[in-house]
């Protein structure tokens, strides 16, 4: 990447940090949420908020931003250097979506960034394009009645191929609601470490520190943060009283429902959020085998366990496809939190929708089936296998399970609804079984939010009979 010149104050501005993150996301396949977390460690709340808004907003609305920029460029946007391309996107996002930022400020700060990383010619280009966009506005959107899917794709900045398959599957209104939900800002969630604190104790400390916080209405271990200073939540993290985790990810362990004393295998364990949650759920009694193919990530997982006081986790450098051979017949429960497209967590990782291509889904399916097949022989008779992915695409959900059950007929599917940590209303049970969201008004990648996907999981028992779906 470009080496940054120093500001007059010797520090990088918020927009410069945002630019660096956007460029790293595009060039190096980095994840925005991880980069934002690292960038915000030593910044105040206002700076963190602006950087997050600029980065995530630009990524969420990239297609619409690119279309607007293309209207005022004489050559393809993709032909520009990545840094200049990101500067234009950053400026255009502010012009189109952030009315609280004056247009002159959006343009001038973008031009200053161009001067920092480019030359006079590129700065002039940025100035000319953004000034015209600020004055003339974006070109009209496609007419909804003429091209419904095309309108959704541009208006809500989602890839056309993805919108068209959602329209075919869920109808126009369902696809629209899903795209709209993907562009909403999710909350910050904490999981309380029940080995060391109660939720009431954590809530009390956060409120005393001025944090805007509420208990999750669905998960007894979850806390939602809506703003306020970050110092106290960081202290709670360092003391091992909480972990940062989405509610949908927490709900997966409810589906597994492990008991103290169980032997559990977390087959794709890193970075360890679900592994440590299992340890807390089991009251630090039993045995958890955490497997991953990345040794460095396993070291981080071990540090995570030490921070939380979880002593029953054994880290193993192992490809999960070899699990059954390495640990035959020992597990009461196995969790396969498989690599996937991530198309169910676009709210938190908006860059995912620009990276995934249709052909990727079949490749991922092959790996997911291999992972499930690799862990099958590790379960005891009657053991529980939970398959979890953060996507709602059929290739990675229903089709994976169908293939697995054909190859391993001794397994049978179990109705998930009794294990869900939230109530289902009339007519929602089938939605839960199909992986479509149910209910209203919760945030975050996995729990019921009107027309928003959750982490998709399927529960199996190795007992030879399908349980009642009630």
Q: How far is it, in rounded angstroms, from Cα 443 to Cα 302?
A: 29
Q: How far from 378 is each of 167, 228, 320, CA to CA, in Å?
A: 40, 46, 11
In eight-state DSSP terms, residue 184 is: S
- Cα–Cα distances (Å) from 264 to 154, 194, 256, 412, in that order, read 45, 19, 10, 19
**CB contact at 8 A, 437 and 454:** yes
Determine the Cα angle at 85 with ends 80 and 90, to 5°: 165
- CB neighbour list of residue 322: distance below 8 Å, 6 or more residues apart: 374
The answer to whether 305 is a known catalytic residue is no
Residue 392 burial (10 A CB sphere; 0-12, 13-18, 19+)? buried
Write the burial class of residue 29 (CB in 10 Å: 0-12 exposed, 13-18 middle, 19+ buried).
Answer: exposed
| Cα 23–chain centre separation | 19
Q: Which helix (H) or strand (E) holds 332?
A: strand 331-337
Helix (H) or strand (E) holding 195: none
Distance CA(41)–CA(185), nearest Å, equals 20
**CB of 108 closer than 8 Å to CB of 130:** no
Spatial contact of 248 and 446, defined as CB atoms under 8 Å apart: yes
**How far is it, in rounded angstroms, from Cα 161 to Cα 173?**
17
For residue 129, how many C-alpha atoms fall within 13 Å in the half-sphere facing its CB?
A: 31
- For residue 157, give the nearest of 61, 243, 227, 80 by alpha carbon: 61
C-alpha neighbours within 13 Å on the C-beta side of residue 36:
23
Q: Which of 189, 268, 340, 390 is catalytic?
A: 390
**Cβ of 410: how many Cβ atoms within 10 Å?**
12
- The length of the chain, given as a count of residues: 470
Q: What residues are annotated to the active site? A: 390
């Amino acid at each position: 990447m470009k080496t940054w010149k120093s500001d007059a104050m010797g520090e990088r501005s918020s927009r410069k940090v945002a630019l660096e993150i956007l460029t790293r996301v595009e060039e190096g396949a980095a994840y925005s949420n991880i980069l934002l977390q690292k960038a915000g460690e030593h910044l105040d709340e206002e700076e963190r908020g602006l950087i997050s808004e600029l980065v995530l907003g630009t990524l969420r609305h990239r297609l619409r931003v690119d279309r607007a920029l293309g209207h005022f460029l004489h050559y393809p946007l993709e032909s520009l250097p990545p840094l200049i391309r990101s500067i234009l996107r950053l400026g255009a996002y502010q012009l189109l979506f952030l009315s609280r930022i004056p247009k002159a400020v959006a343009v001038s700060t973008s031009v200053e960034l161009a001067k920092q990383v480019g030359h006079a010619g590129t700065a002039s280009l940025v100035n000319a394009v953004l000034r015209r966009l600020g004055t003339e506005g974006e070109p009209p959107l496609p007419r909804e009645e003429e091209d419904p899917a095309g309108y959704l794709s541009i208006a809500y900045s989602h890839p056309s191929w993805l919108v068209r398959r959602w329209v075919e599957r869920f109808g126009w209104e369902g696809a629209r609601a899903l795209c709209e939900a993907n562009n909403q800002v999710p909350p910050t969630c904490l999981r309380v470490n029940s080995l060391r604190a109660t939720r009431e104790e954590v809530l009390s400390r956060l409120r005393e520190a001025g944090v805007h916080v509420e208990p999750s209405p669905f998960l007894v271990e979850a806390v939602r943060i809506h703003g306020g200073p970050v110092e106290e939540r960081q202290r709670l993290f360092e003391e091992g009283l909480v972990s940062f985790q989405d509610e949908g990810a927490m709900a997966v362990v409810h589906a597994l429902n492990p008991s103290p004393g169980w032997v559990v295998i977390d087959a794709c364990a890193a970075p360890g959020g679900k592994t440590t949650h299992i340890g807390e759920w089991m009251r630090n009694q039993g045995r958890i085998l955490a497997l991953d193919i990345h040794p460095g990530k396993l070291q981080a997982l071990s540090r995570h366990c030490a921070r939380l006081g979880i002593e029953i986790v054994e880290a193993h450098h192992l490809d999960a496809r070899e699990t059954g051979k390495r640990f035959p017949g020992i597990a009461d429960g196995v969790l396969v939190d498989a690599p996937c497209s991530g198309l169910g967590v676009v709210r938190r990782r908006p860059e995912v929708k620009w990276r995934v291509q249709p052909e990727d889904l079949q490749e991922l399916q092959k790996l997911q089936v291999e992972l499930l097949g690799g862990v099958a022989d590790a379960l005891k008779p009657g053991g529980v296998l939970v398959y979890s992915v953060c996507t709602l695409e059929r290739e990675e959900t229903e089709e994976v399970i169908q293939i697995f059950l054909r190859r391993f007929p001794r397994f049978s599917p179990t109705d998930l609804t009794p294990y869900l940590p939230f109530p289902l209303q009339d007519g929602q049970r089938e939605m839960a079984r199909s992986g479509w969201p149910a209910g209203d008004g919760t945030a975050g990648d996995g729990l019921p939010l009107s027309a928003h996907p959750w982490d998709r999981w399927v529960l199996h028992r190795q007992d030879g009979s399908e349980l009642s779906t009630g």
